[in-house]
Amino acid sequence: MPDRTPIIRGAEPIDLRGHAWRDAAWRDTARREGARAPRAMLLIHGFGDTPQTLRALASDLYESGYDVRVPLLPGHGRSVASFDAATHDVWIGAVRTELAALRAKYEWVGLGGLSMGGALAAIVAADIRDLPVLVLMAPYVAMPLYIRAAAACHTWWTPFRPQLAASSPDSIHDPVERAKNLAYGHVTGHALHELAAVARLAQASLPRVTAPTLLIQSRHDNRIAERVAKRAFAALGAARKELVLTDVGGHILTVDYGKERVFETIRAWLEDGPGTISSTPDASIVSAAR
């Protein structure tokens, strides 16, 4: 059944479109004149969060010539009860449906995700041989042992502790952006259990990913350790891949300090791929495969 709980103001899906060919005749003329086929990016937000965390990136990509879709994942942006009712299968299915809808309209569709959205993107990308590009932003592909243990036995403690605090000031260093965040700030045991399932499936999916892949995250990420990002990068099956670690910002690096550099890095990757991203004082390329 559809969730009829009202969407939190500001958490709505993002649709930035306008670069698509208007009709067949216009398309044929554009092609004769050497115009590039319209491109689209599907971006997926993180666990308990909303498209708001990807709004600035979506706008940046749109200004660069991409149509962009950022859906609101089931159970998100509404209520903690809605969140608790959602499952990892539903989240994965939603991403697959969104990607299929865009691929039916555009000749080129890239996929990207932030945190759990990155994990979901990796799971879906593993089953698509012709995906042109994958962008993983601080992908949540591993869960700390103590959280994994709590998730595994959630049915024991949930009756006594229905919700846990989930917000952390270290996820977004910029206090102005932190105040704008629309995440629930709380998590249930069942939701943690479903997140653990996503992380487990994403980890298993990485070797089957063949799309050219950019993995980018902050060295100061409080959710995903640098060593986890490096292991995830090494596990990726893509022949063309690049890992970029920034030295500013926290886990939600698309709204934090240094986000402009993150956007610049993603744009360079989308246009030209490996070898086009250069190290800077606030970002370094740890390793790359071409």
The pLDDT value given to residue 77: 95
The pLDDT value given to residue 21: 58
The pLDDT value given to residue 5: 86
Residue 234 has a CB neighbour count (10 Å cut-off) of: 13
The pLDDT value given to residue 49: 96
As to burial, measured by CB atoms within 10 angstroms (0-12 exposed, 13-18 middle, 19+ buried), residue 282 is: middle
Nearest to 254 by CA among 264, 241, 269: 264
Q: How far is CA 75 from CA 72, 137, 166, in A?
A: 8, 21, 16
The pLDDT value given to residue 30: 61
The pLDDT value given to residue 285: 62
Sign of CA dihedral 268, 269, 275, 277: positive
Token pair recorded at residue 70: 């950022």
Domains of the chain: 14-289 (3.40.50.1820)
Token pair recorded at residue 218: 């902050």
pLDDT block averages, 10 residues each, the chain of length 290: 84 88 61 72 97 98 95 96 96 98 92 98 97 97 85 80 83 95 92 95 98 96 95 96 95 96 95 64 59
The pLDDT value given to residue 34: 61
The pLDDT value given to residue 99: 98
